[in-house]
């Protein structure tokens, strides 16, 4: 069999570990031929690809980013043509000309949606979920999340010491797109006092009241972790909006930090290396069994798969009754609501 791999959407730590997991299993266990498509779905449109052999796959386990490159190309975007040909048609043509028996799509929600649509037009597709946002529907965890969690947690740890020295409120914005997973977990891992998530409607007045009370109770400083996806009145960055409001409403000295792309770069955590490798290896098992149109996923401790048709396009947000939120509230963490 001949298989193609592509990586699409925002990058994250662990992608190369997944490519290696797919490639090594396919070549060594099943004797398959493997090619890497460049720059996501763009490579299938432009016919840009590289041969993946054991040499290319060596030494990439610990490497951040993606050796194949990525793009946010969405071939199913309305009216999307290349040289006047419909992009999905072109992709199917090139897939056939390359003699591919299967295509592995490593990506987040957008990628899984495109993969589901390509499966509908007859391509043998397998999806592998990745993103630091952890918001892909159908899996308990995406790889990339654990690495980003480490980075965000370390950053917040560092804010504690400088906040304490200056007796300040520190507001830190972490990524996550429309989901609050990274804010919730990094906030809890680093002892954040306030955690604001897109999933929980907050009132900035409750946040201010809570922070003033902490100051009155002689707490020297406070840490406020905000998800980038919380709504702000003028669409301004979440941390800037929250920090400005806190300054205005409390008069307390406040600073903001936007962590940004640091969360997506660099070497994957050991957990992400293992998860990405397991996902990659399992994707090849599905191909060998000719079980196509599936997305590899983690269910508890088990690697299994779900139908791409069921996951494509759906978001996995933090449930507002998530047990961690309940535990946090009981420990006095404020989520910006009246009862904290
Ligand atoms: O989906 C991953 C992510 O890093 C989000 O957390 C963030 O909102 C977005 O991508 C940034 O995307 P871009 O690479 O297009 O700036």
> pLDDT tens digit string along 206-226?
999 999 999 999 999 999 999
pLDDT at 163: 98
11, 53, 101, 133: the active-site residue: 133
Question: Is 133 considered catalytic here?
Answer: yes
HSE-up (13 A, CA, CB side) for residue 26: 30
Q: How far apart are CA 192 and CA 247, in angstroms?
A: 18
Judge if 293 and 245 occupy the same domain: no
Specify if 163 maps to a domain.
yes
Residue nearest to atom 4 of ligand 1 (CA): 10
Task: Locate the ligand 1 atom nearest the alpha carbon of residue 228 and give its number.
Answer: 8
What CATH number is associated with residue 70? 3.40.50.450
Ligand 1 in reach of 94 Cβ (< 6 A): no
- Report the number of distinct structural domains present in the chain: 2
144 lines ligand 1 (CB under 6 A): no
- Same domain? For 122 and 187 the reply is no
Does residue 337 lie in a domain region? no
Q: Do residues 129 and 155 share a domain?
A: no
Read off the pLDDT of each residue in 14-43 and give the average, rounded to a whole number.
98
Categorize the per-residue pLDDT at 313 as very low, low, confident or very high, splitting at 50, 70 and 90.
Answer: confident
Mean pLDDT of 288-314: 96
Q: What is the CA(10)–ligand 1 centre distance, in A? A: 6
Distance between CA 155 and CA 226 in Å, rounded?
13
**pLDDT tens sequence across 89-141:** 999 999 999 999 999 999 999 999 999 999 999 999 999 999 999 999 999 99
- What predicted TM-score, i.e. pTM, was given to this entire model? 0.97
Q: Assess whether 135 and 153 both reside in one domain.
A: no
Mutation test of ligand 1: which of 109, 133, 228 has the most ligand atoms closer than 8 Å to its C-beta? Answer: 133
Q: Residue 140 — φ and ψ, nearest 5°?
A: -70, -35
Report the percentage of the chain scoring pLDDT > 90.
Answer: 96
Are 173 and 120 contained in the same domain? Answer: no
Task: Specify the DSSP element, H or E, that contains 68.
Answer: none
State residue 312's pLDDT score.
Answer: 77
Q: Could you identify the atom of ligand 1 that is nearest to the CA of residue 176?
A: 6
- Whether the predicted pLDDT of 227 surpasses 80: yes
Dump the DSSP string for 243-295. HHHHHHHH---EEEEE-GGGGG-SPPPHHHHHHHHHHHHHHHHHHHTT--SEE
Confidence of residue 22 (pLDDT cuts 50, 70, 90): very high
pLDDT for 79 equals: 78
How large is the average pLDDT for residues 242-269? Answer: 98
How confident is the model over 318-335, as a mean pLDDT? 98
Is 265's pLDDT higher than 90?
A: yes
Give the domain range for residue 229.
148-264+320-330
What tens digit of pLDDT does each residue of 168-184 get? 999 999 999 999 999 99
Nearest to 51 by CA among 12, 3, 16: 3
218 φψ region: left (φ > 0), alpha (ψ -120 to 50), beta (else) = left
Q: Is 183 in the pocket of ligand 1 (CB under 6 A)?
A: no
């Amino acid at each position: 069999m001949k298989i193609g791999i592509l990586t699409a959407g925002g990058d994250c730590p662990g992608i190369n570990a997944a490519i290696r997991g797919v490639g090594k299993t396919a070549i060594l266990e099943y004797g398959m031929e493997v090619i890497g498509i460049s720059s996501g779905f763009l490579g299938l449109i432009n016919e840009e690809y590289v041969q993946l052999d054991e040499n290319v796959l060596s030494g990439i386990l610990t490497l951040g980013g993606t050796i194949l490159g990525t793009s946010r190309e969405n071939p199913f975007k309305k009216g999307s043509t290349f040289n006047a040909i419909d992009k999905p048609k072109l992709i199917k043509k090139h897939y056939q000309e390359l003699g591919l028996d299967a295509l592995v799509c490593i990506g987040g929600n957008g990628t899984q949606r495109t993969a589901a649509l390509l499966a509908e037009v007859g391509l043998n597709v397998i999806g592998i979920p990745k993103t630091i946002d952890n918001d892909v529907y159908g899996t308990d965890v995406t790889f990339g999340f654990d690495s980003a969690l480490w980075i965000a947690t370390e950053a917040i740890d560092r804010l504690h010491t400088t906040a304490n020295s200056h007796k300040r409120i520190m507001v830190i914005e972490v990524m996550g797109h429309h989901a609050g997973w990274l804010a919730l977990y990094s906030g809890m891992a680093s002892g954040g006092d306030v955690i604001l998530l897109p999933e929980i409607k907050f009132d900035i007045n409750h946040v201010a009241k809570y922070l003033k009370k902490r100051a009155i109770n002689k707490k020297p400083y406070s840490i406020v972790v905000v998800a980038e996806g919380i709504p702000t009145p003028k669409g301004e960055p979440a941390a800037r909006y929250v920090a400005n409001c806190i300054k205005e409403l409390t008069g307390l000295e406040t600073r903001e930090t936007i962590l940004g792309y640091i969360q997506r770069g660099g070497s994957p955590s050991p957990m992400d290396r293992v998860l990405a490798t397991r996902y990659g290896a399992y994707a090849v098992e599905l191909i060998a069994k000719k079980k196509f149109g599936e997305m590899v996923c983690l269910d508890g401790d088990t690697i299994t798969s779900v139908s791409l048709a069921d996951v494509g396009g759906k978001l996995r947000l933090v449930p507002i009754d998530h047990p961690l939120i309940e535990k946090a509230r009981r420990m006095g963490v404020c989520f910006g609501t009246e009862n904290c």
